[in-house]
Structure 1
Amino acid sequence: MKADPAAQKRLLDLAAVDAELTRLAHRRRTLPEHAELDAAETAVRTSKDALVEAETAAGDLDRDIRRIERDVEGVVARTEKDRALLAGSGIGAKQATELQHELDTLARRQAVLEDEQLEIMEQREALGGNLDHARRLLGEAEEKLSDVTVRRDTELADVAAAEAGRGRDREAILPALPADLLGAYEARRSQGKTGAGLLRERRCGACRLELDRTYLARLKGTAPDEVVECEECGAILVRTAESGL
């Protein structure tokens, strides 16, 4: 394949643009903010789970407290009723004994309920501190997530802007390249290889390897418009005054 040396040299501009696009794509994939964001999202989920667990436990204790309060109210109401009956006139000795026995039983029941109520209220008070701590941790985790998201989005926007600029540069270069030369270049890039490189001081600019002297001697006798390849990596080897041939 033949191509004007100027067109071949222009291929180096395209290769430089494509190299920059490759670097930008790598930067997009490997932004440290991606890992930070994953960690921040995990922290938010963990904090939410911890808060839900604490809120559930608090709700259970609150229900227990209300239940005991109702039980105590029932015991107090029954006690007041029995005391009124005992203080009234017209009850026999047997009924009075039964009422007093019930009053003693109610008193013991009330004491047990109040002890249980106190214990649960102490647990609830302690859990209040856990709730405040869980809410604070969640707030901090959400704030960090927001910060990392903003930084990640800013970095991605910078990458996108740079990619757009390089994309315009690429489109400006393409019309200057013959179709067959561009096709050969793109075929190499489709295989994940560098499409073209400058031959400078016996070294290929694509793979950075120094070429064999015999091969270089053969290149020296090759017409300038002949498209040649690196014997090491297969990239189109662009020869200029810097090549030292």
Structure 2
Amino acid sequence: MKAAPEAQLRLLDLQELDTALARLQRRRRTLPELADIERVESRLGEMRDAMVAAETEISDLEREQKKAEQDVDQVRQRAERDQKRLDSGQVSSARDLSNLQSEITSLQRRQSDLEEVVLEIMERREAADGRVAALRTERSAAERELAELGDRRTASEREIDEEAGATSIARTAVAKDVPADLLALYEKLRDQFDGVGAAALHRGQCQGCHLALNTVDLNRIRAAAADEVIRCEECRRVLVRTAESGL
């Protein structure tokens, strides 16, 4: 393949711009805000699960407390009825009086036990309410952080996109200076070799694979016509001769 030396040099300019574009794309994919957003979103998910569990526990405790309070009321009402019977003097039998007093005592113990149950449920409810309140506070803080991270990500992406847009315009202008066949070869090689299709020969070393050329290859390049397109024997990229090639 033949191409004017000036066109081959423009290939290095094109490669530099393509490398810059690839760097910008990589930077956009690896913005630190992206990892931070993923972390905060994961934490928010965990908080949502914890919130559902805590609110479910509160709902269960509400039902449990209501049932326990009903049990207390029932026992208290029965004890009050027995006490009224006892105080009315309607029970005259000594045996019946003893049984009634024993039942009242038993009901009072039962009421006390049930009231302890109610208090224990209320304490558990208070703890669950505290967890929900803490989770809501933490969730609000995480949502604010997520919004701030989203704004920072958007700003960073906008900056990168603007730079990439300007670089793409410059690339289009440079690509016009490269013959179609050489440009096609360059694009093919870029696809094959990690985005690098052309490299400078600098002081006897290929800047694509960073290997020094042997004497035979250097002599072959020295003897080649200025418009001949040279390929690196090691990496097969287009090897562009410059004033710093050491030929």
CA distance change for structure 1 residues 90 and 219 in 2, over 3 Å: closer, same or farther? closer
Gaps of at least 5 residues in structure 1 are none
Partner of residue 160, structure 1: 161
The partner residue of 1:228 within 230, 242, 245 is 230
Residue 191 of structure 1 deviates from its aligned partner by 0.7
Residue 138 of structure 1 deviates from its aligned partner by 2.8
Partner of residue 43, structure 2: 43
Partner of residue 206, structure 2: 204
Amino acid at match of 1:10: R
* Count of residue pairs brought into register by the alignment: 245
Partner of residue 66, structure 2: 66
How far, CA to CA, are the matches of 2:202 and 2:178 in structure 1? 22
State the TM-score, normalized to the length of structure 1. 0.86
Residue 47 of structure 1 deviates from its aligned partner by 2.2
Instruction: Give the alignment of 1:101-140 within 5 angstroms.
Output: 101-140=102-141
Q: In structure 2, the residue corresponding to 1:223 is in which secondary structure?
A: coil
Residue 241 of structure 1 deviates from its aligned partner by 2.9
Residue 238 of structure 1 deviates from its aligned partner by 1.6
Q: In structure 2, the residue corresponding to 1:76 is in which secondary structure?
A: helix
Gaps of at least 5 residues in structure 2 are none
How far, CA to CA, are the matches of 2:201 and 2:111 in structure 1? 98
- Answering whether residue 171 of structure 2 is matched by residue 170 of structure 1, we say yes
How far, CA to CA, are the matches of 2:155 and 2:75 in structure 1? 66
The partner residue of 1:240 within 236, 239, 242 is 242
95-104 or 127-136, which deviates more: 95-104
Deviations 1:3-34, CA, capped at 9 Å, x for gaps = 12221111111111111112122222333333
How far, CA to CA, are the matches of 1:29 and 1:7 in structure 2? 33
How far, CA to CA, are the matches of 2:217 and 2:45 in structure 1? 62
State the TM-score, normalized to the length of structure 2. 0.85
Partner of residue 10, structure 1: 10
Partner of residue 149, structure 1: 150
Q: In structure 2, the residue corresponding to 1:241 is in which secondary structure?
A: coil
Alpha carbons 1:47, 1:141 under 8 Å: kept: no
Deviations 1:52-104, CA, capped at 9 Å, x for gaps = 22222232222222221222222333333444444457666477666545433
Q: In structure 1, the residue corresponding to 2:240 is in which secondary structure?
A: strand
How far, CA to CA, are the matches of 1:89 and 1:59 in structure 2? 46
Instruction: Give the alignment of 1:75-94 within 5 angstroms.
Output: 75-88=75-88, 93=93
How far, CA to CA, are the matches of 1:231 and 1:4 in structure 2? 21
How far, CA to CA, are the matches of 2:89 and 2:66 in structure 1? 37
Q: In structure 1, the residue corresponding to 2:213 is in which secondary structure?
A: coil
CA distance change for structure 1 residues 192 and 25 in 2, over 3 Å: closer, same or farther? farther
188-197 or 132-141, which deviates more: 132-141
129-138 or 13-22, which deviates more: 129-138
How far, CA to CA, are the matches of 2:59 and 2:155 in structure 1? 42
Amino acid at match of 1:62: E
Partner of residue 183, structure 1: 184
Residue 189 of structure 1 deviates from its aligned partner by 0.8
210-219 or 95-104, which deviates more: 95-104
